[in-house]
């Protein structure tokens, strides 16, 4: 496995470290390569896009985090060997340069520190390696890559900002938030300082900031009197810049977490045959099939590609893959789709207008299309109990792949009895957590294969039990109050985290806005061709209900795109 992707379920430290363990002292050192040959080839190809020099400063201490120090030093040394425009410098934490740069943690990585305030505390691993590569290219070009509106807002910034993003290498949402912070640091180098901290490598900082979920972002106004902002989750670039500049949390809109554009105020107009909303397995496949049929298409994803699958630790029932991390599977699907159509991440849809042409407003762009495919998926169902919202991000989580690592040595509970609950419970148990599954009935609805695995792992199950309250203090969750549905007795169960896996509810905000018919369970009503009640609008994947499997979502994505192709070529509503 290359350091570009990592299955963190079985590791406590970077495991892929060939060669000797000594930290290199010179950027041009010869000898064994650390990066495998295919990874070096990929990096060399990427480095063809370098436009200027980049300095990478690595700080380590022989007494702390040795495996991570070694990994980082060897990784950076290889990068410098691959391209002369990368200059690697290595220092000990006790050196004068460390003091000058105010570096106190081992390992720390600085990117072109004379020009920018961009640093990693902890070696960038897993998902963060790709962010690092992107930022390296942007530093090389001196271009933030932010949208014009964001640049304009940042241009008006007068006071300094310090941004810290806590991450976990397996979290698919973290890289997006790190990119938000680092891009702002590139755009306003004198004012914005950004740091990415791996919460598992720097547990002290994570504990001091009460990090119980990632990405967790803290924005500070170091010179002023404004209170720091503490933000959970991935934000759109626009929302992030808004909060960074105003030092105020942007109120959520009814449609979701986006700050709300003025629809129609979009700057750019693009014409395509098909707009697909949603970048999970259904949406990505729909985009690919539309393009293969000869239609122009775009896939818009408000967050990051992959949908629920991206946060599924292991997928074991997708044909062709005996077992594969969900994020990896979706990376492959997204890469294949991108060979055909643009897949735009962080592109929420603000408004859809159905007319002769369908107008889809997304940020600064309005798409004019002939067909719209909704693959908006589903979102986790809350329990609706006291303490659930209050401790969300401080022990309450709906993503074991993102947050599980923070509780790998703790007692945790998982609520639910379906495939998600058991997949999450197995992941947490394999990380080392002491897991109890709390289920409201006396039998699971999950696949037998998962039930058997849970038994083999020796995971405790408390049957016929519901969670009535999440209990905690200033440190986060300390316990859950549970109630037996058979005899009505209640008790407190001490846990550090509660993972909620009680099913999903369909995301139908857009569907309802445009008047799509829903079934009695709230899913979009579709026919066999995935057509909705509005001509040229289709729906696929979990938002249509049914068995909600990756393999069926993929099939539905293909069907919806083929129906769109058929209808654009021979419109059924004109027959
Ligand atoms: P699910 O199958 O709907 O199961 C939800 C579970 O939560 C059920 O056991 C349900 O209990 C319980 N529950 C619901 N509301 C509750 C509440 N208020 N309090 C306590 N418990 C509550 O949902 P899922 O497991 O998220 O799966 C969703 C879909 O994705 C399914 O089609 C599933 O097959 C698929 N999926 C597949 C995989 C895989 O194949 N590896 C992985 C994840 C998800 P009851 O059983 O009593 O109703």
Count of C-beta atoms within a 10 Å radius of residue 41? 12
At 223, the pLDDT band (50, 70, 90 cuts) reads confident
At 575, the pLDDT band (50, 70, 90 cuts) reads low
Q: Residue 498's pLDDT is what?
A: 98
Reported as a single tens digit per residue, the pLDDT across 538-563 is 999 999 999 999 999 999 999 999 99
Among protein residues, the one whose CA lies closest to atom 39 of ligand 1:
419
Q: How far, in Å, CA of 387 to CA of 322, rounded?
A: 39
Tell the residue number behind the tokens 């990693």, with chain if given.
120
Angle, CA 103 vertex, CA 102 and CA 104 arms, to 5°: 115
CATH class of the domain at 18-246: alpha beta
Give Cα separations from 219 to 124, 250, 340, 394 (angstroms): 21, 13, 38, 18
Distance 308 CA to ligand 1 centre (A): 13
Q: How far, in Å, CA of 296 to CA of 275, rounded?
A: 9
Q: Residue 8's pLDDT is what?
A: 37
Answer yes or no: is the C-beta of 548 below 6 A from any ligand 1 atom.
Answer: yes
Answer yes or no: is the C-beta of 398 below 6 A from any ligand 1 atom.
Answer: no
522 pLDDT higher than 50:
yes
Distance 443 CA to ligand 1 centre (A): 12
CATH code given to domain 396-502? 3.50.50.60
Distance 349 CA to ligand 1 centre (A): 28
All CATH 3.40.30.80 domain ranges in the chain, comma separated: 18-246
At 241, the pLDDT band (50, 70, 90 cuts) reads very high
SS3 565: helix
Q: Which 3-state string (H, E, C) describes 207-251?
A: HHCCCCCCCEEEEECCCCCCCCEEEECCCCHHHHHHHHHHCCCCC
495 pLDDT higher than 80:
yes
Is residue 124 a contact partner of residue 5, using CB atoms and an 8 Å limit?
A: no
| Nearest CA among 11, 12, 28, 31 for reference residue 20 | 31
Is residue 328 a contact partner of residue 5, using CB atoms and an 8 Å limit?
A: yes
Fold of 268-379+505-574: FAD/NAD(P)-binding domain (3.50.50)
Q: How far, in Å, CA of 123 to CA of 67, rounded?
A: 10
In the chain, % of residues over pLDDT 70: 91
Mean pLDDT of 104-108: 97
Would you please indicate which residues are annotated as catalytic (active-site) residues?
399, 402-403
Q: Look at the pTM and tell me if it is higher than 0.85.
A: no
Q: Residue 569's pLDDT is what?
A: 83
SS3 380: strand
Among protein residues, the one whose CA lies closest to atom 28 of ligand 1:
503
Atom of ligand 1 nearest to the CA of 502: 7
DSSP state of 23: P
Answer yes or no: is the C-beta of 254 below 6 A from any ligand 1 atom.
Answer: no
Answer yes or no: is the C-beta of 440 below 6 A from any ligand 1 atom.
Answer: yes
Q: Residue 123's pLDDT is what?
A: 96
Reported as a single tens digit per residue, the pLDDT across 204-214 is 999 999 899 99
Q: How far, in Å, CA of 406 to CA of 398, rounded?
A: 13
Considering only 169-183, 264-278, 363-377, 549-563, which range has the smallest mean pLDDT? 264-278
Q: Residue 30's pLDDT is what?
A: 56
Residue 335's φ and ψ, nearest 5 degrees, are: -65, -40
Q: Ligand 1, residues 318, 423, 484, 503: which to mutate, most atoms within 8 A of Cβ?
A: 503
Number of helical (H) and strand (E) elements in the chain, helices listed first: 15, 27
Distance 418 CA to ligand 1 centre (A): 4
Answer yes or no: is the C-beta of 503 below 6 A from any ligand 1 atom.
Answer: yes
Mean pLDDT of 242-246: 95
Mean pLDDT of 391-396: 94
Answer yes or no: is the C-beta of 506 below 6 A from any ligand 1 atom.
Answer: no
Count of C-beta atoms within a 10 Å radius of residue 546? 12
Q: What's the distance, Cα to Cα, between the start and end of the chain in Å?
A: 54
Please tell me which residue, 26 or 251, carries the higher pLDDT value. 251
Angle at which helix 281-292 crosses helix 550-569, to 10 degrees, equals 30
Distance 435 CA to ligand 1 centre (A): 18
Reported as a single tens digit per residue, the pLDDT across 321-334 is 999 999 999 999 99
Give Cα separations from 17 to 1, 92, 114, 354 (angstroms): 11, 21, 30, 55
Here the tokens at position 105 are 């943690």
Q: Residue 226's pLDDT is what?
A: 87
Among protein residues, the one whose CA lies closest to atom 13 of ligand 1:
502
Q: How far, in Å, CA of 285 to CA of 37, rounded?
A: 31
Is residue 117 a contact partner of residue 79, using CB atoms and an 8 Å limit?
A: no
Answer yes or no: is the C-beta of 445 below 6 A from any ligand 1 atom.
Answer: yes
Q: Ligand 1, residues 310, 324, 401, 420: which to mutate, most atoms within 8 A of Cβ?
A: 420
Q: How far, in Å, CA of 299 to CA of 505, rounded?
A: 22
Reported as a single tens digit per residue, the pLDDT across 56-84 is 999 999 989 989 999 999 999 999 999 99
The β-bridge partners of 298 are 275
Answer yes or no: is the C-beta of 425 below 6 A from any ligand 1 atom.
Answer: no
Q: Ligand 1, residues 380, 502, 504, 523: which to mutate, most atoms within 8 A of Cβ?
A: 502
- How buried is residue 15: exposed, middle or buried, by Cβ count under 10 Å (0-12/13-18/19+)? middle
Tell the residue number behind the tokens 């693959």, with chain if given.
375
Atom of ligand 1 nearest to the CA of 450: 41
Q: Ligand 1, residues 396, 401, 416, 481: which to mutate, most atoms within 8 A of Cβ?
A: 416
Looking only at the bridges linking them, the beta strands covering 192-198 and 118-121 are parallel
Mean pLDDT of the chain: 90
Q: Where are the alpha helices (DSSP H) in 29-156?
A: 37-47, 66-82, 96-100, 127-141, 148-155
Here the tokens at position 538 are 């289709």
Answer yes or no: is the C-beta of 416 below 6 A from any ligand 1 atom.
Answer: yes
SS3 64: coil
Among protein residues, the one whose CA lies closest to atom 7 of ligand 1:
502
Is residue 134 a contact partner of residue 210, using CB atoms and an 8 Å limit?
A: no
266 pLDDT higher than 70:
no
Q: Residue 177's pLDDT is what?
A: 95
571 pLDDT higher than 80:
no
Answer yes or no: is the C-beta of 504 below 6 A from any ligand 1 atom.
Answer: yes
All CATH 3.50.50.60 domain ranges in the chain, comma separated: 268-379+505-574, 396-502
Q: Which residues contact 335 (CB under 8 A, 6 or more apart)?
A: none
Q: Which helix (H) or strand (E) holds 183?
A: helix 174-187
Q: How far, in Å, CA of 263 to CA of 366, rounded?
A: 9
Q: Residue 559's pLDDT is what?
A: 98
Answer yes or no: is the C-beta of 314 below 6 A from any ligand 1 atom.
Answer: no
């Amino acid at each position: 496995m290359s350091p570009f992707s990592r299955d963190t379920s079985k590791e406590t430290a970077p495991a892929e470290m060939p060669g000797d363990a000594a930290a290199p002292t010179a950027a041009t050192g010869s000898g064994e390569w650390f990066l495998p040959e295919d990874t070096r080839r990929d990096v060399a190809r990427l480095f063809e896009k370098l436009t200027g020099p980049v300095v990478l400063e690595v700080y380590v201490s022989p007494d702390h985090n040795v495996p991570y120090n070694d990994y980082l030093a060897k990784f950076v040394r290889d990068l410098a060997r691959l391209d002369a425009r990368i200059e690697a410098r290595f220092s000990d934490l006790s050196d004068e340069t460390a003091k000058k740069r105010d570096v106190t943690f081992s390992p720390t990585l600085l990117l072109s520190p004379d020009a920018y305030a961009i640093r990693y505390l902890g070696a960038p691993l897993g998902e963060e390696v790709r962010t690092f590569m992107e930022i390296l290219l942007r530093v090389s070009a001196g271009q933030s890559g932010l949208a014009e509106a964001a640049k304009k807002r940042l241009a008006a910034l007068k006071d300094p900002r310090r941004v810290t993003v806590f991450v976990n290498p397996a979290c698919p949402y973290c890289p997006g938030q790190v990119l938000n912070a680092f891009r702002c640091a590139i755009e306003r180098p004198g004012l914005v300082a950004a740091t990415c901290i791996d919460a598992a490598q720097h547990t002290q900082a994570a504990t001091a900031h009460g990090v119980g979920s990632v990405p967790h972002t803290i924005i500070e106004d170091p010179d002023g009197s404004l209170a720091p902002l503490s933000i959970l989750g991935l934000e759109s670039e626009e929302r992030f810049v808004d909060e960074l500049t105003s030092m105020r949390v942007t109120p959520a809109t009814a449609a979701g977490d986006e700050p709300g554009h003025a629809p129609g105020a979009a700057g750019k107009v693009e014409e395509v045959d098909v707009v697909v909303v949603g970048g999970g397995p259904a949406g990505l496949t729909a985009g690919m099939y539309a393009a293969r049929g000869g239609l122009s298409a775009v896939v818009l994803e408000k967050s990051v590609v992959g949908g629920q699958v991206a946060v599924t630790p292991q997928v074991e029932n997708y044909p062709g893959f005996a077992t594969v991390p969900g994020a990896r599977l979706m990376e492959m699907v997204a890469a294949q789709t991108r060979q055909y159509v643009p897949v735009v991440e962080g592109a929420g849809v603000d408004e859809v207008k159905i007319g002769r042409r369908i107008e889809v407003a997304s940020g600064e762009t309005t798409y004019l299309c002939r067909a719209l495919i909704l693959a908006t998926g589903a979102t986790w169902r809350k329990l609706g109990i006291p303490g659930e919202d209050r401790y969300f991000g401080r022990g309450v989580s709906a993503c074991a792949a993102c947050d599980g690592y923070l509780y790998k040595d703790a007692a945790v509970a998982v609520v639910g009895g379906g495939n998600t609950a058991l997949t999450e419970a197995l992941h947490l148990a394999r990380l080392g957590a002491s897991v109890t599954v709390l289920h409201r009935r006396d039998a699971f609805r999950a696949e037998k294969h998962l039930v058997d695995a849970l038994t083999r792992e020796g995971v405790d199950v408390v049957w016929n039990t519901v969670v009535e309250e999440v209990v905690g203090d200033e440190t986060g969750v300390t316990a859950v109050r549970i109630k037996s549905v058979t005899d009505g007795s209640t008790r407190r169960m001490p846990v550090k985290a509660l993972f909620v896996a009680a099913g999903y509810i369909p995301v139908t905000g857009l569907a309802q806005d445009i008047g799509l018919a829903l079934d009695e369970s709230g899913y979009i009503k579709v026919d066999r061709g995935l057509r909705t009640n509005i001509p040229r609008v289709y729906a696929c994947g979990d938002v249509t209900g049914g068995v909600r499997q990756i393999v069926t979502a993929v099939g539905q994505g293909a069907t919806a795109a083929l129906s769109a192709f058929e209808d654009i070529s021979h419109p059924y509503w004109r027959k």
